[in-house]
Amino acid sequence: LPDLVSGFGRRVLLVSGRDTARFAGLVDALRAAGLEVSRESIPGEPTVDQVAAIVGRARTAAPAAVIAIGGGSVVDAGKAVAALVANTGDILDYLEVVGRGQPIEKPPLPFIAVPTTAGTGAEVTRNAVLGVPSARVKASMRHPSMLPAIALVDPALTLSVPPAVTAATGMDALTQLIEPFLCRRATPLTDALCRDGIPRVARALPVAFREPSNRAARVNLSLGALYSGLALANAGLGAVHGFAAPIGGAFPAPHGAVCAALLPHVLEANLTALRAGGTATAPFLQRFDELARLLTGRQDATAEDAVAWTAILARELQIPPLSHWGIREQDIPGLVSRARQASSMKANPVALSDEALSTIVRRAIAA
């Protein structure tokens, strides 16, 4: 990492997670390479206020580049900081949904992403998801120039990830391969990534959950997460992520855990709606059958097997129901209303009724 960063300038900002002592050796190595290092930490999923505070301090420190080492939340925070330090506007000028959604005018500072989990694929996406507590929602800053200059992906950094985090982040990566494969905007490029990534993650995730130090499984999860970021950035997602943003903004629920709880129920709802769609939805049903073969490894698998397989995997990984995060029946109408407005919902393979969307959340609450 010091070799990769040194070409950008003498001063760097290092953004990491809550445990800042974990990367003391890295700071020493950066300083030994002649770099001046300032440090910031993100204790959880980033909010606009946290990022704005870091940006204020970073503008004074005047770094030449930003490094983020940590999970997807840290990478998203670093990505936002790199963009905002180089631009003079307020964070809400650039935020979608609850902000003004203006484009980034000046190129962000060079940004280096070093993921320590295998889930979001944020190291290869051009947006940063930030929480807006006042609006009880998550929203993105988004611009092609926000794509990281370097993604340093080392599966060895994920060996210490505990099983519950491995499960949630791995299910997020799997979801981000499944939804682009099934969505309306799939392309031959993203299909290739998904066809290779889905079976990798499907086989590796249970192994890494049971055997955290299994290096082969960690390699496949890291590669699958990288694929998932490329796939979602170039195709789209679906109803799982349509719900994930409003749920994550309103409840203290980790993004990956929300996606994992929703995935089987979204697949079931999509399959039901596609079967009712007649000849117009036949290509999507063929995709569904292929997904089942990719997940199960069985050539005779059908779409129903894909739904059943993901439900079994969620139980095996001990994914908690949405009720674990405080979501109740009375929250469903508001979540459905906000999910309809999410950009991810627009790529779902079929339009889902409010009744179908409500059923998804109800079943994910009780699962």
φ, ψ (nearest 5 deg) of residue 188: -55, -35
Asked if 155 and 215 touch (Cβ cutoff 8 Å), the reply is yes
Residue 272 has pLDDT above 90, yes or no: yes
Distances 217 to 78, 155, 201, 208 between C-alpha atoms, Å: 27, 9, 8, 6
What does the pLDDT read at residue 307? 97
Which residues lie across from 37 on neighbouring strands? Answer: 12
Which residues have a Cβ under 8 Å from the Cβ of 2 and sit 6 or more positions away?
29, 30, 32, 33, 35
- Tokens 């499960």 belong to 167
pLDDT, one tens digit per residue, over 79-107 is 999 999 999 888 999 998 888 889 999 99
Q: What is the pTM of this model?
A: 0.95
Which residues have a Cβ under 8 Å from the Cβ of 362 and sit 6 or more positions away?
329, 332
Residue 40 has pLDDT above 80, yes or no: yes
What does the pLDDT read at residue 81? 97
**Which amino acid appears at position 288 of this protein?**
F
Tokens of 50: 């946290």
Residue 37 has pLDDT above 80, yes or no: yes
Residue 200 has pLDDT above 80, yes or no: yes
What does the pLDDT read at residue 367? 76
What does the pLDDT read at residue 343? 87
Asked if 303 and 268 touch (Cβ cutoff 8 Å), the reply is no
What does the pLDDT read at residue 99? 85
Residue 54 has pLDDT above 80, yes or no: yes
Residues 211-228 have a mean pLDDT of 98
pLDDT, one tens digit per residue, over 128-170 is 999 998 888 888 999 999 999 999 999 999 999 999 999 999 9
Distances 293 to 212, 287, 302, 305, 315 between C-alpha atoms, Å: 26, 10, 7, 9, 20
SS3 call for 342: coil
- In the DSSP assignment, the letter for residue 108 is P
- Tokens 């949630």 belong to 168
Over pLDDT 70: what percentage of the chain?
Answer: 100
Which residues lie across from 127 on neighbouring strands? Answer: 142
